[in-house]
């Protein structure tokens, strides 16, 4: 699980130029991302259910070709329809107990935490495979993002003995990734650092060199 979280790309059509998610994802897979989360949310995202399923399916096929885990953000029904490798949910989405009951036996389950208290509660639950901690730094990728915690959240989680794999998210770049890893993250989840990269292959290689 920790190796899968190393360079964790999160993206939907709204995040990439001209909505060409499939083309972008293939380049990212070729460059070496270790996990992909399909997150179709926000301004510019697909709204037609059939189109969302088709897009997710195409991304899943690509991930399978490159043997990279395919996760779905929040959408339990979509994850179950596709037989995804994992589902990731936030604190304000479906109740985590319900997610575990529906998906836990079929796929891996990730939960977002933004406070130490949330992390402690999650660490005591059975059925959660990893935590997504953040936002660590300010981010423009999520309009509903909470206030950044800084790397202190990661340090506090580890100081309290939380041993679940942790992927950090929120404003993570090549310039600050070392601080994040040193604070206790097992990997980094990135959106804009890669979807807006001018040198995608080189940047993924740099992330991977630090995280793996």
Does residue 112 have an active-site annotation? Answer: yes
Sign of CA dihedral 18, 23, 25, 27: negative
Rounded Cα distance, 100 and 30, in Å: 32
Locus of tokens 């399909």: 38
For residue 92, give the 3-state DSSP assignment.
coil
Rounded Cα distance, 150 and 16, in Å: 26
- How many beta carbons lie within 10 A of that of residue 103, not counting itself? 21
For residue 70, give the 3-state DSSP assignment.
strand
Would you say 170 and 140 are in contact if contact means Cβ atoms under 8 Å apart? Answer: no
Would you say 41 and 29 are in contact if contact means Cβ atoms under 8 Å apart? Answer: no
Residue 3's φ and ψ, nearest 5 degrees, are -65, -35
Would you say 56 and 79 are in contact if contact means Cβ atoms under 8 Å apart? Answer: no
What is the widest separation between alpha-carbon atoms in the chain? 45
Rounded Cα distance, 167 and 95, in Å: 20
Rounded Cα distance, 211 and 172, in Å: 12
The one catalytic residue among 39, 108, 114, 123: 39
The helix or strand, by DSSP H or E, that contains position 154, with its residue range, turns out to be helix 152-159
The one catalytic residue among 112, 114, 141, 149: 112
pLDDT in tens, the chain (212 residues): 889 999 999 999 999 998 899 999 999 999 999 999 999 999 999 999 999 999 999 999 999 999 999 999 999 999 999 999 999 999 987 889 999 999 999 999 999 999 999 999 999 999 999 999 999 998 765 555 578 989 999 999 999 999 999 999 999 999 999 999 999 999 999 999 999 999 999 999 999 999 87
Does residue 206 have an active-site annotation? Answer: no
Q: Residue 145: its pLDDT value, please?
A: 58
Q: Residue 142: its pLDDT value, please?
A: 58
Does residue 67 have an active-site annotation? Answer: no
User: Domains of the chain (ranges plus CATH)?
Assistant: 7-211 (3.20.20.70)
Rounded Cα distance, 56 and 125, in Å: 29
127: left (phi over 0), alpha (psi -120 to 50) or beta: left
* Cis-peptide, bond into residue 82, ω within 30° of zero: no
pTM: 0.95
The one catalytic residue among 108, 123, 141, 142: 142
Q: Residue 140: its pLDDT value, please?
A: 67
């Amino acid at each position: 699980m920790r190796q899968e979280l190393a360079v964790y790309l999160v993206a939907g059509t709204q995040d990439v130029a001209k909505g060409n998610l499939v083309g972008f994802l293939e380049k990212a897979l070729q460059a070496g991302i270790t996990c992909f989360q399909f997150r179709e949310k926000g301004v510019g995202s697909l709204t037609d259910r059939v189109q969302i399923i088709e897009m997710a399916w195409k991304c899943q096929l690509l991930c399978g070709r490159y043997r990279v885990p395919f996760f779905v953000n929040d959408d339990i029904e979509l994850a179950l329809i596709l037989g995804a490798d994992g589902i990731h949910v936030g604190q304000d989405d479906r109740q985590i107990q319900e997610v575990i009951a529906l998906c836990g036996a079929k796929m891996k389950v990730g939960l977002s935490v933004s406070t130490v208290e949330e992390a402690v509660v999650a660490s005591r639950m059975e059925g959660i495979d990893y935590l997504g901690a953040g936002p660590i730094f300010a981010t423009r990728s999520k309009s509903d993002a909470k206030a950044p915690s800084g790397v202190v959240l990661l340090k506090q989680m580890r100081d309290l003995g939380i041993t679940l794999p942790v992927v950090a998210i929120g404003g993570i770049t090549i310039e600050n990734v070392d601080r994040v890893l040193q604070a206790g993250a097992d990997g980094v989840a990135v959106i804009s650092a890669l979807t807006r990269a001018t040198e995608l292959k080189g940047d993924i290689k740099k992330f991977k060199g630090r995280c793996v």
